[in-house]
Amino acid sequence: MPTKTTKNSSNRAQNGNGARRPAPPDSARSRGATDTFTIPGLSERDARATASTLQERLVSLIDMTLTLKHVHWNVVGAGFISVHEMLDPQYEAVALMADATAERIAALGESPNGLAGSLVANRSWDDYALGRAVVAQHLLALDSAYSGVITSHREALAHIHDLDPVTEDMLIGQLGQLEGFQWFIRAHLENGEGVIAKTSAK
C-alpha cells in the first residue's frame, strides 16, 4: 500500500495497538486483586510483542475488507459482473482473517482494537484512491493494495517466528489465501506473456 508520513507513532499509545496500558489507579489489577494472563508456556513479554504485531495486522486486514467492499460497489465497465462477484468471497475470507487475528490477540491476554478511530490513527497508508472506475483501474489498485498487505504480513511473520509458532502458523495460512487472491486479481490484468501493464486506459 502507498506509504505516507503520519502521526502514527505518537498516537499508537493512546489509540491502542495491542500493548498493555498501565492499570487505572483504582482498578482490580492495580490493587492486586486479579492476575494478568496469556497463553500457557508463553512469557508475558513475548505475548505482548506478539499481540502488538497482530494489532498492526488487524488494522491492515480490516482496511482490506473495507477496500474490497468499496471496489465491489464501485467497479464498472466491461467485465463488471465477473469482478463484482469475485470480490465478495475475498471480502468474506479476509473478514474471517481479521476475526481470527482479533481473537488471537484476546487469547494472548490483550485487547484487540477494531474501532474506526484506531484504524485511521494507526495505519501507515492513505485511503484507497478510486471511486467509481472501470475494471482495469480498480484491479491495478487492488493489486497494489494486496501487495501492501502481503508484504507487511511477511514482515510480521519474520518477527513472530521467534516468539510464537501458533501465531506464526496462523499468519502463514492467511498469507497463502492472500497471495491466492492477488493471483486472481493479476490473472485479469496480465497478457499472454504474463506481463501486467503499469497503467490502464480510463
Q: What is the pLDDT of residue 175?
A: 97
Q: What is the largest CA-CA distance in the chain?
A: 67
Strand pairing partners for 125?
A: 3
Q: What is the pLDDT of residue 26?
A: 55
Smallest CA-to-CA distance from 118 within 138, 141, 98, 104 is with 98
As a whole number, mean pLDDT of residues 143-153 equals 95
Summarize pLDDT for 26-44 with one digit per residue, the tens. Answer: 544 445 544 567 888 888 8
CATH of domain 42-187: 1.20.1260.10
Q: Judge whether residue 73 has pLDDT over 80.
A: yes
Summarize pLDDT for 3-28 with one digit per residue, the tens. Answer: 443 444 333 333 344 445 555 555 44
Strand pairing partners for 76?
A: 134
Angle between the N-to-C axes of helices 135-160 and 165-187, in degrees from 0 to 180, rounded to the nearest 10: 160
CA–CA–CA angle 81, 84, 86 (5° rounding): 105
As a whole number, mean pLDDT of residues 174-189 equals 95
Q: What is the pLDDT of residue 32?
A: 53
Q: CA 72 to CA 84: how far, in whole Å?
A: 5
Q: What is the pLDDT of residue 176?
A: 97
Q: What is the pLDDT of residue 122?
A: 85
